[in-house]
Amino acid sequence: MAGTMQLKKHMSLVHEVSVNAPSDKVWDFLINIEKNYIAWHPKDHILFQWTKGTAFEAGARFYAEQYMMGVMIKYNGTISESIPGQKISMTFSFPLSLITDRIEIIIENHGAATVFRHVTHMKFRFLSRTIFKKRNINMLLDMDTHIKSEGENMKKILENVHQQED
C-alpha cells in the first residue's frame, strides 16, 4: 500500500466506529480525557493535560505526549470549535501544524448506539509531497493504524462499562 499511496495537497483520514452506548457516555469519555488518555491508546499515549480553559470548550488549550512512528512527540493544541455532545475541532502548534490542519471529532446519537467519527484534515505542501514523500506516507500509515486503534479501544471500554451498568 505504501508504494502506491499518493500524497495530495489536501487529504483527510476518516475513521468511524459504532459504539453500543449512549452518546453522553462517549462525550463523558472525551471530557475526561486527562484520566482516559492512556487507556484510550495504552501503547502510544503518555500524557494529556489542559493548560488553559475548560475541557473541550472553544479556546481551551492542551499539552500532550505520545509516540508516533516509535518516537515520543510533545505537542500543544487549541480547541477551535466545540458543540457539547456533538463535535470538537482542534488545531495544533508547530511542528504538527505543518501537516495536520485540524482534527474533528463528531458524535452522532443513534439511540442506544453512537457513531464516533474521527477526521484528520491534512495538508502536504510541495516538499512534503516530493522530498519527504516516503516519510510522510509512513507517517500516514502509522496515523491510520493509531486512530483506528483509538476507536476500537474506546468502543471496548465504553461497551464494557455500559454492559456493567445494565
Of 15, 65, 10, residue with least CA distance to 37: 65
Count of CA atoms in the C-beta half-sphere (13 A) of 165: 10
Q: How confident is the model at residue 130 (pLDDT cuts 50, 70, 90)?
A: confident
pLDDT tens-digit series, residues 11-69:
999 999 999 999 999 999 999 999 999 999 999 999 999 999 999 999 999 999 999 99
Q: How confident is the model at residue 1 (pLDDT cuts 50, 70, 90)?
A: very low
Q: Classify 109 as helix, strand or coil.
A: strand
Distance of alpha carbon 145 from the chain centroid: 12
pLDDT tens-digit series, residues 83-129:
999 999 999 998 889 899 999 999 999 988 999 999 999 999 888 88
CB 119 within 8 A of CB 147: no
Quote the cell numbers at residue 106.
463528531
Distance, in Å, from the CA atom of 128 to the CA atom of 7, rounded to the nearest integer, reads 8
87 DSSP assignment:
E
